[in-house]
Structure 1
Amino acid sequence: MDFEAIVRMVPFSAHLGFEVMRCDAAGVVVEVVLKPEYCTAGGTAHGGFLMTLADFAGAAGGFMVLPEGAKGTTTIDSKTNMIGAAPVGSRLTATSAPEHVGRRTSVWTTRVMVGEKLISVTMQTQMVL
């Protein structure tokens, strides 16, 4: 499945302005400019927005490693550590890499960065449907 198909399946990603820069079995890179409506008090990225970005990146990777005949993937576990603050207007880069690819699940780690600054780290498990 190509990443354009994934974006069509998850229209919320387009609504949020996610730009897929790379999407293959080896990893996913998604970028987005942080708008004021994605922020919390003080004009920094809302944790829910960071989790949404990371979930999309990891799930896109999960789609890329689906075995033949699978119908899709779904997140069954996700844990995010908030590390730093991202100010409004920042360009966030989410880089997701597989930790495990099996017959029934895949596990992805996504690091969200602003330049060289680490903002959050998410580890999620995708289940094959």
Structure 2
Amino acid sequence: MDPADLLATMPFAVHTGVRLEAATPDAVVGRLDWEQHRTTAGNGMHGGALMTLADSVGAACAFLNLPAGATTSTTSSSTVFTRGVRKGTVTATARPLHAGRSTVVVVVELRDDEDRLVAQVTQSQAVLRPAS
């Protein structure tokens, strides 16, 4: 699926500045730039901005691993922050850990411009099948 078309299905991600660079079932890559309006005390990028990037990229990865006709919704998300971001661009890479009949589990790594780990997110997504 074209990354721009996939991103267009997530208006909040578009509004917050998330960009998708690549999108396949094996990996989805997205980016978010450090901007003053995305910071908290000390000029660090706000954790909510980082989690928005991770959730958006993770949801796209889960979606690409769904069976035909199914949709998805996040059921849990666990984030471990490892360092602050005070400049540049954060790159998120989501990969499926498990793609089953009822859940998809995705791991998302967020890295700074120097390829240092900023956060890791493990996300579970329900597989929602159409009513028969």
Considering the TM-score relative to the shorter chain, is it more than 0.5?
Answer: yes
Structure with the higher strand share, 1 or 2:
1
Amino acid in structure 1 at the alignment position of 2:89 = R
Match of 1:101 among 77, 99, 102: 99
Q: After TM superposition, give the deviation of residue 2 of structure 1 in Å.
A: 4.6
Q: How many residues align?
A: 127
Mark the CA change 1:117 to 1:27 in structure 2 (over 3 Å): closer, same or farther: same
Q: After TM superposition, give the deviation of residue 31 of structure 1 in Å.
A: 1.0
Q: Which residue of 2 aligns with 1:124?
A: 123
Q: Which residue of 2 aligns with 1:9?
A: 9
Q: Is the 8 A contact 1:18 1:31 kept in 2?
A: yes
Amino acid in structure 1 at the alignment position of 2:98 = H
State the alpha-carbon separation in 1 of the partners of residues 88 and 4 from structure 2: 25
What per-residue deviation string (whole Å, max 9, x for no partner) do you get for residues 20-64 of structure 1?
A: 111110011001211111111010111111111111111000110
Identity %: 36
Q: After TM superposition, give the deviation of residue 128 of structure 1 in Å.
A: 1.2
Runs of 4+ in 1 over 4 A off after TM superposition: none
State the alpha-carbon separation in 2 of the partners of residues 56 and 103 from structure 1: 21
Q: Is the 8 A contact 1:2 1:64 kept in 2?
A: no
TM-score, with normalisation over the residues of structure 1? Answer: 0.92
State the alpha-carbon separation in 2 of the partners of residues 17 and 75 from structure 1: 21
Q: Which residue of 1 aligns with 2:66?
A: 66
State the alpha-carbon separation in 1 of the partners of residues 22 and 5 from structure 2: 14
2:66 match: secondary structure: coil
Q: Which residue of 2 aligns with 1:83?
A: 82
Mark the CA change 1:105 to 1:2 in structure 2 (over 3 Å): closer, same or farther: farther
1:42 match: secondary structure: helix
Amino acid in structure 2 at the alignment position of 1:104 = S
Q: After TM superposition, give the deviation of residue 9 of structure 1 in Å.
A: 1.9
Give the superposed CA RMSD.
Answer: 1.3
TM-score, with normalisation over the residues of structure 2? Answer: 0.90
Q: Which residue of 1 aligns with 2:26?
A: 26
